A and B are shown apart, each in its own frame.
Chain A
Amino acid sequence: MSRPRRERRSVVAVEAIGPYALVRVTRGSLDPGIPGQFFMLEAPGRVLPRPMSLCLAPRGELAFLLDPIGPGTRALAALESGEALHVFGPLGNGFRLDVERPLLVGGGIGIAPLPYLAEALEQPPAVLGFRSQHHAEAAALFPNAEVVIDPVLVTEAMPAGRDVLACGPEPMLEAIRAIAPDAQLAWEAPMACGYGACYGCVVEIDGELKRLCVEGPVLGGSPRAAFVASTRGLCGEGRPCSS
């Protein structure tokens, strides 16, 4: 696996996709890593960087999809072309790609790592769930996804007999695991550092509190990982810390 690096990169563009923002930065000598891995993005004016999984890796660029709901993500979404920020990664463990019949499942901003994953798996079928038509505009990042909107759940649209790779809110991941115990699931937790230093992102794995940035963020697909949602996922403003 490639070693993480921290570089000062410049913003190519920030594009609105529904309510979300796609932040595109120059790649420099950063490695895009494996789908599901994440980067720490310096959030202008904030003390701590924000963990974001890679959404797309166009030639010469890295692109991150985020939901501007907290002070950090709002600062990132407000970046303008040419402005600079530090980017550190790739970090953590991504998805295993040796699956036979992949099905991607995403919910809300949890679709963020899936476009890059879809590329690596040669555009497998995908089921995406959103809370509104406006949020569902993000499905444009996929060529052929099935989209469901609240109150329809992704679990109602998932075909059986597939190798599930999913990212989304904790209740969605719990529901997926209940019907697809071998699913590979990408989780989220408040993180200060992303590289094992702060012990802030612990979650219960196999009955022990372990660092999600070191053990994950993708867990499952093996008997080792049993995630118990134990965080309220809140950081300061009633928002996920990675906001």
Chain B
Amino acid sequence: MLLLNASGCLDALTAPDVARSLDAFVTKTVTPEPREGNAPVRIAETEFGMLNAIGLANPGRDTFLRETLPRLASAIDVPIWVSVGGFNAREYAETCEQLARDDVACIELNLSCPNVDEAPESAAEIVRACREVTAKPLYAKVSPHSWDIGETVRAIEAAGADGLSLVNTLRGATLDARLRPTLSRGAGGYSGPALRPVALAAVVAARRATQLPIVGMGGVETGRHVIELIACGATHVALGTVLFADPDAPTRVRGELAREVEALGGDSVDGFFGVALDAVASGVNSGKR
């Protein structure tokens, strides 16, 4: 199992120590053109999570390749996964083509940002276009909104993906005291503790449809949450919102995970891979139907 960050939840250039405490660092999503992102207000807290509408702020592909990536490669010694975004399949593929460099370990296609308009093509069509131009490992980041995650996942696998990342945020909104949207964009991506059960169910649905590696994420705050995702069929786990509150979370979570594995009588976290899968999927609990 690898412990990663969720894309957009860590800047390895401002916090290299945090990035080094992970098994791989996932960049903020890179788009072909520079994007300033959405106007403030971009974030809001709720009782059970947070909303963000950052809007894929990034320096654009050219600056990323020329400046950001070399700086990242010299700042941290963990593998770099590059998150790729775009507004149509061609844009995604053009960026993937330019990432054929040694300092890129993996490409994650952000197919599900809730804060920008979606590409017209399906997730599978975008994956197929990228597969044609890159030999790098290709992960597809999937939205939790799909009613049939299994069908989406099968199509993405058939298009040539090497792995899956799920889940991205859920779309949500909050209002201020005067009943205006808190976020200037109106709605944004909802993350944090509220997302945890959504992620578990989505990972189960995906795992029943594919044997591809899955990076599970959504509301993970503790070692216990990591092992639950693994039990539901995730291969790796990413930390998101918790990194905002606790930059020491990777080290802390690993310690908690080791104690959790021991308390459950296991040898390693991978030994718990998929143990909850059949029961969650069929609704069986302790033998009672």
Contacts and interface: CB of A to CB of B under 8 A. Distances in A.
Nearest to B51: A236
B43 interface: yes
Contacts of B9: 197-198
Interface majority SS on B: helix, strand, loop or mixed?
Answer: loop
Interface stretch (B132-140, B172-180, B260-268, B273-281): B172-180
Contact of B43 (A192, A195, A238): A192
Contact of A238 (B49, B57, B176): B176
Given A47-B245, A232-B41, A241-B44, A208 B14 contact: no
Interface stretch (B32-40, B77-85, B94-102, B227-235): B32-40
B39 A241 contact: no
Interface majority SS on A: helix, strand, loop or mixed?
Answer: loop
A47 B241 contact: yes
B244 A6 contact: no
Contacts of A199: 8, 28, 37, 42, 54, 57
Assign chain A's interface to a size class. Answer: 35 or more
B68 to A, nearest CB: 14
Contacts of A34: none
B184 to A, nearest CB: 7
Contacts of B39: 209, 230
B15 interface: yes
29 contacts: A6-B246, A42-B245, A47-B241, A48-B245, A49-B244, A86-B246, A189-B40, A190-B43, A191-B43, A192-B43, A193-B245, A193-B247, A196-B14, A197-B9, A198-B9, A198-B244, A199-B37, A199-B54, A201-B40, A209-B36, A209-B37, A214-B14, A232-B41, A234-B176, A235-B45, A236-B46, A236-B182, A241-B41, A241-B45
